[in-house]
Amino acid sequence: MAADISAAKAQHAPHAPSVRFEHLTKTYPGGSRRPATIAVEDVTLSIPAGSLTVLVGSSGSGKTTLLRTVNRMVTPTSGRVLIDDNDIAGLDAVKLRRTIGYVMQESGLLPHRKAIDNIATVPRLNGVKKAPAHERAYELMDLVGLDHQLAARYPAELSGGQQQRVGVARALAASPRLLLMDEPFGAVDPIVRADLQREVRRLQYQLGITILFVTHDIAEALTLGDKIVVLAQKGRIAQEGTGAELLTHPADDFVANFLGLDAGRGLHLMNSDGVQLVMDADERPIGRLSGPGR
């Protein structure tokens, strides 16, 4: 079984790109009444190829801004973004976006298109005929666990969790090697959320792609991330490392506080049957730590 998966992985994964932010600054211009906002300031950060890297930070810390510079939905004020050592400023923005999957908080589906057509959006933009694009869309519905019966529904006729799955399927339809996810599961209940998180882990493993995942939920970050980047205000990197590194050696009070280590939340690790569990102060497991040994 394991051999099967890694064979599939090798087959599906010709190459997953790395992403690098270099001295990235983004200032949103102010208006006549409001001042300009420095959203991120001088951020330098590397996202390893094939990793699931999580950007975590409180609201307004610049996570979305940082993420959106990667598909050029946000243009940096200064600094640059490299995908595999290529400065993306030199690429065609429209073509670039078609090679990068993007999942947003509010699913952002097209309300006038059926689920199946939403999923097929990018292949259709790339000129794939309707029939093969739909065939591919059905494959993706299987991949993200959506019943084929839902194919003909409009987004408004789907539950929040189903919409998110359609959003994930759409982002994957053109087989991107890089996937950006911006708090994709914020709007769904904890059970569906856990389910979708498992799904993301599995997809990342199965497809062997690079995922850059944004959340403000530290538990989600610990559950998902190979690498976790804790952002303070204006995208300042408070600490980066594996979940275990953060929990065992928080860089400063800010990180410790963010992890809930000193706030009475008392998160800590426990080794159970070779699985690293994240426990809260009441010794209840709230998550399972992922890492290279998975």
Partner 1 sequence: MNYFVEAFAWIADPAHRTGPDGIWTRLGQHLAYTLIATGAAALIGIPLGYWIGHTGRGKGLIVGATGAARALPTLGVLTLIALFTGVGVGAPLAALSVLALPSVLAGAYAGLEAIPAPTIDAARAQGMSEWQLLSRVEIPLGLPHLIGGLRSATLQVVATATLVAYVGGGGLGRFLFLGLKTQDYPQMLAASFLAVALAIAGEICFAVLARIAGRRHHALSNR
Ligand X SMILES: Nc1ncnc2c1ncn2[C@@H]1O[C@H](COP(=O)(O)OP(=O)(O)OP(=O)(O)O)[C@@H](O)[C@H]1O
Binding mask 66-105 for partner 1 (x = CB under 8 A): --x--x-x--------------------xxxxx---x-x-
Binding mask 38-77 for ligand X (x = CB under 6 A): -x-----------------x-xxxxxxx------------
Stretch that binds partner 1, among 6-14, 151-159, 243-251, 270-278 (CB under 8 A): 151-159
Tell me how far apart the alpha carbons of residues 118 and 155 are, in angstroms, rounded to a whole number.
9
Tell me how far apart the alpha carbons of residues 78 and 57 are, in angstroms, rounded to a whole number.
22
- The nearest distance, CB 176 to partner 1, in angstroms, is 10
Q: Is 31 helix (H, G, I), strand (E, B) or coil?
A: coil
Stretch that binds partner 1, among 25-33, 41-49, 147-155, 261-269 (CB under 8 A): 147-155
Residue 154 in contact with partner 1, rule: CB under 8 A: yes
- What does 124-168 look like in DSSP terms, one character per residue? HHTT--HHHHHHHHHHHHHHTT--GGGGG--GGGS-HHHHHHHHH
Strands 227-231 and 52-57: what pairing?
parallel
129-136 long-range contacts (CB < 8 A, ≥24 apart) are: 133/173, 136/173
Tell me how far apart the alpha carbons of residues 102 and 8 are, in angstroms, rounded to a whole number.
23
Q: Whose Cβ is closer to ligand X: residue 50's or residue 167's?
A: 167
Tell me how far apart the alpha carbons of residues 16 and 272 are, in angstroms, rounded to a whole number.
32
- The nearest distance, CB 1 to ligand X, in angstroms, is 38
Q: Whose Cβ is closer to ligand X: residue 39's or residue 146's?
A: 39
Residue 170 in contact with partner 1, rule: CB under 8 A: yes
Size of the site for partner 1 (CB under 8 A): 25
Site residues (vs partner 1, CB under 8 A):
68, 71, 73, 94-98, 102, 104, 106, 108-112, 121-122, 125, 153-157, 170
